């Protein structure tokens, strides 16, 4: 069943109440996200882990492969708070009775090793889901009543909404002796996801998204400023955003590789790397760098064109037989929901939100990749008017 927004504030508050009840009742939490996690995915996992820690519950985060250096401060937060961050060869050391999935459009996209995959198929576990991807090729993971899946700027914002709901439950906070619910570290985590996914608010569309963004940015900016203790700490939203956007020397070379092959088709800008160039890309850069850079380049192309940017490249045959596509909408062009592209081309292996989507196709299904990209671009232009 495709995901849809929670229809009323009352129902959303009930879901939040159910999740908070699970935090008081359940005994072991494993937090998971999607493959090649971005800033919102990582930040929402860290924020929820910190929240579970407020209730003194054992919690671990499974992230799969190594993270980009930009997110080292989030990993430091986990280390300072004794939150294990697990990788493919690590074993889960604590009993798990609750799975929490963040910022993931559908279960097929979950990052999991063999042990985590086994837990995914264990019916006795409670499943909580926090996500802002709706419609198109989305699918629920969480149990009914535990799906905080609705319109928001980011999954991290939804964790922030749980914090605001909890802040008014003083009796519950006193019962668990929680004196610093909205602490500096949890603020940093929530803020990272909000500003990363919305690009400092520039990609927001609805009045509701803008209202929540203004609310959280004002609250969290104030908290960050008041709790900064030394010059090297983040003291405002701009510093966090600059850290997320900072490029390493390797990434800069990867960006150049993509941008040297950029093209223009009418009002759209795109990069198409066919087999030869994709092979060169894979030999020069690791997979994590390529994934992160493809997102960044799609953003750049969208802003340059003023409309939509597309990046397309082939994964090396040793990894998979897939062709990767990433589309991003310009912050100035808010009249078209990119998820319509998934419906128009009947794409099943993909997802995203209205401002950005990603999808994958088997190479055998697109023997003439250039011709497919031309049809894709033409379809986007026609659908967007």
Assess if residue 1 is contained within a domain.
no
pLDDT at 368: 94
Do 263 and 318 share a domain, yes or no? Answer: yes
Do 96 and 226 share a domain, yes or no? Answer: yes
The DSSP bridge partners found for residue 29 are 59, 98
Domain count, the chain: 2
pLDDT at 351: 77
Specify the DSSP element, H or E, that contains 324.
Answer: strand 322-329
Do 43 and 94 share a domain, yes or no? Answer: yes
Phi and psi angles of residue 316, each rounded to the nearest 5 degrees, phi first: -65, 140
Do 26 and 119 share a domain, yes or no? Answer: yes
Assess if residue 322 is contained within a domain.
yes
The DSSP bridge partners found for residue 127 are 99
Last residue of a domain, one of 220, 244, 268: 244
Q: Is the pLDDT of residue 231 over 80?
A: no
Host domain of residue 61: 9-244
- Do 329 and 300 meet the contact criterion of CB atoms below 8 Å apart? no
Q: Is 39 exposed, middle or buried (0-12, 13-18, 19+ CB in 10 A)?
A: buried
Assess if residue 256 is contained within a domain.
yes
What six digits make up the tokens of 377? Answer: 């671009």
Which domain CATH number covers 347?
3.10.310.30
Range 87-110 average pLDDT: 92
- Do 152 and 170 meet the contact criterion of CB atoms below 8 Å apart? no
Assess if residue 343 is contained within a domain.
yes
Dist. CA 138–CA 193, nearest whole Å: 20
Specify the DSSP element, H or E, that contains 224.
Answer: helix 207-227
Do 85 and 208 share a domain, yes or no? Answer: yes
Indicate the pLDDT class of residue 235, thresholds 50, 70 and 90.
low
DSSP string, 300-332: HHHHHHTSEEEEEEEPPTTT-SEEEEEEEE-TT
Do 143 and 196 share a domain, yes or no? Answer: yes
Dist. CA 25–CA 22, nearest whole Å: 5
Assess if residue 2 is contained within a domain.
no
pLDDT at 171: 94
Assess if residue 3 is contained within a domain.
no
Do 272 and 378 share a domain, yes or no? Answer: yes
Within its chain, how far is the Cα of 160 from the centroid?
A: 15
Last residue of a domain, one of 219, 244, 269: 244
Indicate the pLDDT class of residue 232, thresholds 50, 70 and 90.
very low
pLDDT, tens digit, 9 for 90 and up, residues 170-199: 999 998 888 888 887 888 888 888 887 666
Do 256 and 234 share a domain, yes or no? Answer: no
pLDDT at 205: 65
Indicate the pLDDT class of residue 144, thresholds 50, 70 and 90.
very high
pLDDT at 233: 63
Q: Is the pLDDT of residue 325 over 50?
A: yes
Number of helical (H) and strand (E) elements in the chain, helices listed first: 14, 12
CA angle 45, 311, 237 (to 5 degrees): 40
pLDDT, tens digit, 9 for 90 and up, residues 256-303: 999 999 999 888 999 999 999 999 999 998 887 888 788 889 988 998
What six digits make up the tokens of 84? Answer: 């294990």
In this predicted structure, which of 58-67, 144-153, 159-168 has the lowest mean pLDDT?
58-67
pLDDT at 200: 65
Q: Is the pLDDT of residue 229 over 60?
A: no
- Do 55 and 23 meet the contact criterion of CB atoms below 8 Å apart? yes
63 to each of 26, 308, 319, 379, how far by Cα in Å? 22, 30, 19, 35
Do 110 and 240 share a domain, yes or no? Answer: yes
Assess if residue 276 is contained within a domain.
yes
Which residues neighbour 261 within 8 Å (Cβ) at sequence distance 6 or greater?
A: 271, 272, 273, 277
Last residue of a domain, one of 188, 212, 244: 244
Task: Report the length, in residues, of the chain.
Answer: 385
Dist. CA 130–CA 51, nearest whole Å: 13
Do 81 and 202 share a domain, yes or no? Answer: yes
Residue 205's closest CA among 39, 339, 34, 69?
A: 339
Which domain CATH number covers 187?
3.90.1640.10
Assess if residue 4 is contained within a domain.
no
Do 174 and 319 share a domain, yes or no? Answer: no
pLDDT above 70 as % of the chain: 90
- Do 329 and 338 meet the contact criterion of CB atoms below 8 Å apart? yes
Do 167 and 296 share a domain, yes or no? Answer: no
Other Cβ atoms less than 10 A from the Cβ of 168: the count is: 8
The pLDDT mean for the chain works out to 87
Dist. CA 348–CA 137, nearest whole Å: 6
Dist. CA 262–CA 310, nearest whole Å: 9
Other Cβ atoms less than 10 A from the Cβ of 218: the count is: 10
């Amino acid at each position: 069943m495709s995901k849809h927004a929670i229809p009323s504030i009352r129902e959303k508050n009930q879901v939040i109440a159910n999740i908070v009840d699970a935090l008081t009742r359940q005994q072991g939490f494993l937090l998971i996200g999607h493959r090649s996690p971005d800033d919102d995915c990582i930040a929402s996992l860290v924020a929820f882990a910190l929240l579970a820690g407020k209730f003194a519950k054992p919690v671990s985060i499974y992230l799969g492969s190594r993270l980009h250096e930009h997110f080292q401060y989030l990993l430091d937060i986990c280390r300072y708070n004794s939150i294990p961050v697990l990788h493919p060869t690590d074993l889960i050391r604590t009993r798990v009775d609750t799975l929490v999935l963040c910022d993931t459009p559908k279960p097929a996209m979950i990052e999991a090793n063999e042990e985590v995959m086994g837990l995914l198929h264990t019916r006795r576990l409670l499943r909580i889901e926090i996500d802002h991807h709706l419609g198109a090729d989305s699918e629920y993971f969480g149990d009914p009543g535990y799906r905080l899946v609705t319109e928001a700027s980011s999954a991290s914002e939804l964790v922030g909404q749980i914090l605001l709901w909890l802040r008014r439950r003083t009796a519950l906070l006193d019962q668990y002796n929680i004196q610093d619910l909205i602490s500096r570290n949890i603020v940093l985590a929530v803020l990272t996801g909000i500003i990363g996914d919305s690009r400092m608010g520039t990609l927001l569309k609805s009045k509701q998204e803008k209202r929540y963004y203004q609310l959280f940015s004002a609250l969290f900016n104030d908290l960050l400023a008041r709790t900064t203790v030394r010059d090297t700490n983040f003291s405002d939203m701009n510093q966090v955003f600059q850290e997320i956007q900072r490029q390493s020397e390797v990434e800069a070379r990867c960006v150049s590789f993509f941008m040297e092959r950029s093209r223009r088709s009418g009002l759209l800008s795109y990069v198409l790397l066919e087999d030869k160039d994709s092979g060169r890309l894979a030999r020069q850069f690791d997979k994590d760098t390529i994934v992160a850079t493809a997102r960044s380049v799609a953003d750049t192309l969208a802003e340059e064109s003023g409309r939509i940017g597309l990046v397309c490249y082939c994964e090396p045959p040793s990894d998979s037989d897939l062709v990767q596509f990433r589309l991003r909408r310009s912050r100035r062009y808010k009249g078209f929901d990119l998820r319509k592209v998934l419906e128009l081309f009947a794409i099943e292996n993909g997802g995203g939100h209205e401002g950005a989507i990603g999808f994958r196709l088997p190479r055998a299904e697109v023997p003439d990749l250039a011709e497919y990209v031309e049809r894709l671009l033409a379809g986007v232009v026609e659908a967007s008017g």
